[in-house]
Amino acid sequence: MSGRLAQFSPPAKDVPVDWRPQWNLAPGQRVLILRKLAGKVECTSVLWNLTPTWLRQLDRAAFSAQAEYLHEKPMFGQALAQRRCIIPVDGFFSWHAQGTRKQPWYLRRHQGGLTLAGLWERYSLEDGSFWDSCALITAPAKGLPARLSPRMPVMLNSAEQAIWLASATAVSSLQPLLLNAASLITMMHPVSPTMSSPTTLGAQCCAPSGRAVTLDPALD
């Protein structure tokens, strides 16, 4: 499962003015999401750690949610019904256990980025101020990601994105959509273990440190 993202390509024309490219984005930092409000899709920066207004122990904020249990968890149920979003990324990282150590890998498509399924929430304070936050959704891994980890972020194609964001989509159809979504990863390669620290920044975080594993780019 991925606890790090690469988001260095602007996903929309109107990105927030304070946005900066990130090659090693960790939970607790700000991430760009796309969400539909008042019938229009907007690009905004939110905290990557889901914090509903009712949450009192903020250290229990979740950066990910398992697709199989979204309907059962109070943390995610209302957001699933009313506040769905997508998280556009260039790629994500996964760690593969090798004995007592874990080797980080960077996973992506040959061309273009990825769109991950997510949920967002708003944490309101008594003075009227608020902040927005999100969590990405994971599912059992398929394809190349399954070689590294039992779970992966849910990746949506363009048709699935439209269904996911549409307010008219029945809640009962969302879990099958998430669990049936295919892996869109066609390339992955090991990277330097130094990127395991969120303080390691820059494009070198995504640079290959070994041989890449690929699928046929014609499938991309």
Cα–Cα distances in Å, from 10 out to 15, 88, 213? 7, 9, 26
Lowest mean pLDDT among 83-87, 140-144, 177-181, 216-220: 216-220
Q: What is the DSSP letter of 2?
A: -
Position 100 pLDDT exceeds 90: no
Arithmetic mean of pLDDT over the chain: 93
pLDDT at 53: 83
* pTM over 0.85, yes/no: yes
- pLDDT band at residue 27 using 50, 70 and 90 as cut-offs: very high
Strands 64-66 and 101-108 come out as unpaired
- Rounded mean pLDDT, 116-135: 92
Fold classification of 5-219 (topology level): hypothetical protein yedk fold (3.90.1680)
3-state secondary structure of 158: helix
Distance, in Å, from the CA atom of 80 to the CA atom of 85, rounded to the nearest integer, reads: 9
Lowest mean pLDDT among 39-48, 120-129, 147-156, 196-205: 120-129
Tell the residue number behind the tokens 């975080």, with chain if given. 205
Contacts of 38 (CB under 8 A, 6+ apart): none
H-helix segments, the chain:
74-82, 158-165, 174-180
